[in-house]
Homo-oligomer: A and B are copies of this chain.
Amino acid sequence: MKVVIIGGGAGGLSTASNIRKYDKQAEITVITMDENIAYSPCAIPYVLCGEVECFDDIIMHQPEDYLDRDITVITQAEVYEVRSSENKIKYHSNDEVEHELPYDFLVIATGGVPFIPPVVGTKLEGVFTILTIQDGFEIKKWAENSKRAVVVGAGLIGLEMAYGLKKMGLKVTVTEMQTQIVPRSLDPNMAQIVQEYLEEEGIEVILGKAIEKIIGEETVEGAVFGEEPVNAELLIMATGVRPETKLAKIAGCEMGQWAILVNEKMRTSVPNIYAVGDCVEVLDAITGHTTQSPLGSAAVRQAKIAAKNITGIDAEFRPVLNAMVSKIGDLEFGAVGLTKAAATRNDLEVVFGQKRALTKARYYPGAKRIDVKMICNLKGRIIGCQIIAKEKVAERVDTMALAIAKEVTCFELANMEFSYAPPLSMVIDPIILAAENACEKLKQVTGG
């Protein structure tokens, strides 16, 4: 069995490794345009802020490492043709030579491309997008000779990069078109807590203003947001990523609303072509609508499902909860399921429980403030949760992911048995306190 995988990111390489796990004989080839593979793009901001020492640290494998597992990795090569009727692809290698490669199964893991708003000046030197480790490397080099930076877009990567640049000593402004930061994952009142932390750390935040233009001759000198000018020698466009679907279209794969359409086996409309990662669309577990889940963790889970199905093991990818977490400085924030705002947009009637509590017994030195917001439908079923604290957020998000996946209600959760020790938790966990608050709100609403 010959498997060709296009893309050397988390989705592509995990598919390769998993196929090898289930099939010792398969001929597996991974083709990527990138020079590096098997690195963690999510970690780029942490190199900037100095928590991770250098970019080399976040590269986990070299292409030749995969030879040990009998996986061929071809870097700096671009696939330009997929002939699905003939089961073969064509690519240019590094040296411009054209090659042809037959396949029994093709996996499209082409990821995404940064979306750049249509304004003047995006080609100026000092304007960056952030996708590959090379981008990270170049941003860092440019930042070393800059004093002021502006990051356009206050999503996760935007905020993480902003903090990294601030730690490098730059004066940093983050701008966001919407009227709050992290609009996809946090409700306004929770986003406010993160924003206050950023401001305490000296990062300026401008909300509700779209970028109008970028100013500069050869290199960037600033940008205008609404009518507000911001000076900067470095500008990062963290304005989102669009799925890279070009090859899938060439191959004749059907597109969905947002990206490549796949079924629960991660198979495209072309029977022996699979697709995984940021280039596919998935189902939202709560709304049932198609959505994008551009997270490394989603790509890795999809890769496992694709690999199983390719090797004849039945497996299905479940609709997503969009569990996410981030760490900026010493603040952690995470979310799973729908925000209240997203629920409302989807015409779901909801209540929310909210609680500010502590991460340890209240007399315990080092106990940190923790904020939990829990969204429930009118039957009490939990459909979303947002958590912010200076520790212990990620695992609580995971607990809530499980709660949402298992359709737990706030009534059940309020009576759940959790562990307790004074140095590690409160005797009643903040999650449970938020669930109790949701129960009370629900009784008020339903009069029950």
Hey, which bits of chain A sit against chain B, CB under 8 A?
A: 10, 40, 42-43, 46, 51-53, 57-58, 60, 295-298, 300-301, 315, 318, 320-321, 323-327, 332, 334, 336, 361-365, 392-399, 401-403, 405-406, 408, 415-425, 427-429, 431
Give the residues in chain B near A336, CB-CB below 8 Å.
Answer: 419
Beta-carbon contact of A362 and B60 below 8 Å: yes
Give the residues in chain B near A418, CB-CB below 8 Å.
Answer: 297, 323, 397-398, 401
Beta-carbon contact of A427 and B363 below 8 Å: no
Distance (Å) between the CB of A55 and the closest chain B CB? 11
Beta-carbon contact of A403 and B401 below 8 Å: no
Distance (Å) between the CB of A161 and the closest chain B CB? 14
Beta-carbon contact of A421 and B394 below 8 Å: yes
In the complex with contacts A402-B399, A403-B402, A296-B420 CB distance below 8 A: yes
Distance (Å) between the CB of A264 and the closest chain B CB? 11
| Cβ-defined partner of A365 (8 Å) among B52, B296, B431 | B52
Beta-carbon contact of A40 and B361 below 8 Å: yes
Give the residues in chain B near A415, CB-CB below 8 Å.
Answer: 301, 315, 318
Closest B residue to A404 by CB, please name it: B417
In the complex with contacts A395-B396, A415-B301, A428-B300, A421-B361 CB distance below 8 A: no
| Cβ-defined partner of A363 (8 Å) among B60, B324, B365, B425 | B60
Q: List 22 A-B contacts (CB under 8 A).
A: A40-B361, A42-B422, A46-B364, A51-B364, A52-B363, A52-B422, A53-B365, A57-B363, A296-B427, A297-B427, A300-B427, A315-B415, A323-B417, A324-B419, A325-B424, A332-B424, A392-B394, A397-B418, A398-B418, A398-B431, A401-B417, A406-B408
Closest B residue to A366 by CB, please name it: B51
Q: How many copies does the complex hold?
A: 2
Beta-carbon contact of B419 and A325 below 8 Å: yes
Distance (Å) between the CB of A445 and the closest chain B CB? 18
Beta-carbon contact of B361 and A420 below 8 Å: no
Give the residues in chain B near A318, CB-CB below 8 Å.
Answer: 415, 417
Beta-carbon contact of A363 and B40 below 8 Å: yes
| Cβ-defined partner of A58 (8 Å) among B320, B363, B393 | B363
User: What 5 additional pairs, Cβ within 8 angstroms, besides A51-B423, A397-B418?
Assistant: A297-B418, A297-B420, A325-B425, A395-B398, A402-B403
Distance (Å) between the CB of A101 and the closest chain B CB? 28
Give the residues in chain B near A396, CB-CB below 8 Å.
Answer: 395, 398
Distance (Å) between the CB of A205 and the closest chain B CB? 21
Give the residues in chain B near A53, CB-CB below 8 Å.
Answer: 365
CA A86 to CA B158, docked complex, whole Å: 70
Closest B residue to A405 by CB, please name it: B416
Smallest CB-CB A-B distances: 10 pairs = A395-B395, A297-B420, A325-B419, A394-B424, A323-B419, A399-B399, A398-B418, A43-B422, A397-B419, A327-B423
Which residue, A42, A399, A403, has most C-beta atoms of chain B within 10 A?
Answer: A399
Beta-carbon contact of A421 and B326 below 8 Å: yes
Distance (Å) between the CB of A70 and the closest chain B CB? 21
Beta-carbon contact of A295 and B325 below 8 Å: no
| Cβ-defined partner of A394 (8 Å) among B363, B365, B425 | B425
Give the residues in chain B near A394, CB-CB below 8 Å.
Answer: 392, 419, 421, 424-425
Distance (Å) between the CB of A89 and the closest chain B CB? 28
